[in-house]
Structure 1
Amino acid sequence: MNVSRGQPSVTERPYLLMTLAGIGILGCAVVIIGMFVAQALVPDYHWVSDTISDLAAGEWEIVMDVSLYGFAAGLFAVSLAAAHAHLGRTGWSIGVVSFAILAALVIIIGARNEYGDGDNNGVVIHIYLVYGLGALFTLAPLCMAGGIGYYSTRAKRALIGLALAWAVLCPVFLLSPTSIDGLLERVLGLIACAIVVTLCTVFFQRGNRTRKQDA
């Protein structure tokens, strides 16, 4: 392809890719740390029977809300990284859009405060947002597994396994008694973080390899 003088060639930017991967991993760390901090601040809270959503309402809601916003930033960073290093075809593009929507859903969940406080005034959309998370955290990794497989067979298997585990546990969580729904929600949260970390690890490694080749 001919490139006019002064016009940069179309290529991946390794430092951009590595930075976005780092933000994705940091977003997972923020939500996990925020959960533990919020648990320590909320009185009479039990991590097995009480959900993460319960931490995002009440006096200390700001801690969990900020943590959710951090996780949303990580999800959006994954979407940007996947768009920059496009490793597939239509399925990969669906995954890119899915992660962008997931970021928006998490932000809305944090902002709406329709959980944990028993407030049902106005239009309540929390359950529909949860359904969206359930569908997209299944769809996105499955759509990206094929493309990621060209780069890492291990990452492909991890994405498929995590997506299937998520798909199985989601209905179990929705139908579970309140005595254990907190535990199941945490397991789902760890699966979501594992999906993000798996993708970000591949993106970081890819960026680092390109950086070394360019050096």
Structure 2
Amino acid sequence: MFTLEDRHEEAEVVSLERPELLMFCGLMGLAGCIAPFVTIVWGTAVADHDFIADTISDLARGDHKRIMDVGFYLNASGLLAIAIAAAHAHLGKVGWTLGVFALSFLALVVVLLGLWDEFNDVGGPGTDMTVHTQLTFLLGPLYLIGPLVMAKGAGGISPTYGWLFVASAAIWALFAAAFKLSPDSIDGIVEKIAIGGSFLWTVPLSFLFIARGYEKTHRVTGRRQQS
């Protein structure tokens, strides 16, 4: 139970938050979540890409690789923006801080995935173990731990956020594991479902910061009008 002193401290912290920063980062995060969907559809339409069998990494290679690279970089920008907003409006304790680092590391990994999509000589001739492949292994724990450790803090704003974050981690874990076991004929769609599940974390988190900034802006405006 929160004491009166705790509520005063929370009010002081909230008063230091910049609503324009939260809304900008939230919108950037939302755009970063939408961008991969757009580039996947775009790339599928213009490239020889089997939506069911081919992975996103397959789409990031070949003559039309720059389309998917744009999706990688915009997604990374969105993840970094959400991390900045989460650090600015800190809604938890150690768990929330770990979530901020998870978002930041995800942004870095996604950028590197775009940069290393065609460097195929790391594991030596005749092997699939490339830099790009090795980087994808980092996505697993980050997309699993991130939403779980931030679920409690976001759940304090609304229980819906907490449940969505847990669902995101569960869907990601299930389909990311299934992807490793799936035959080549369907592993593309399994991977896309896993990625889609991760957006149950980042999209609501983006909306959380947009709403928080918007509410604070109108609260300040209302006080000015009253005075």
Is this a same-fold pair by TM over 0.5?
A: yes
Aligned to 2:127: none
Partner of 1:197: 203
Deviation at 1:176, TM superposition (A): 0.8
Task: Show CA shifts across 1:168-201 (max 9, x none).
Answer: 2111111111111110111112112231101111
Alignment match, 1:33: 38
Task: Please give the TM-score of this superposition, normalised by the length of structure 1.
Answer: 0.90
**Alignment partner, residue 122 of structure 1:** 122
Equivalent position to 1:55, from 59, 64, 69? 59
Which of 106, 112, 120 is equivalent to 1:108? 112
Unaligned 5+ residue runs, structure 2? 1-13, 124-129, 222-227
CA drift of 1:127 comes to: 2.7
Q: Paired residue for 2:29?
A: 24
Q: Distance in 1 between matches of 2:215 and 2:15?
A: 17
Distance 1:14 1:77 in 2: 14
* 2:181 paired residue number: 175
- Give the paired residue count: 202
Unaligned runs of 5+ in 1: 1-8
Query: Which structure has the bigger radius of gyration?
Result: 2
What is the letter of the counterpart of residue 122 of structure 2?
G
State percent identity of aligned pairs: 36
TM-superposed CA distance for 1:120, in Å, is: 2.9
Q: In the aligned structure 2, how far is the partner of 1:64 from the partner of 1:111?
A: 11
Q: Give the residue type in structure 2 aligned to 1:204.
A: I
TM-score after normalising by structure 2: 0.85
1:152 corresponds to 2:166: no
Indicate which of 64, 86, 90 corresponds to 1:86: 90
- TM-fit CA distance, 1:10: 6.8
Deviation at 1:146, TM superposition (A): 0.6
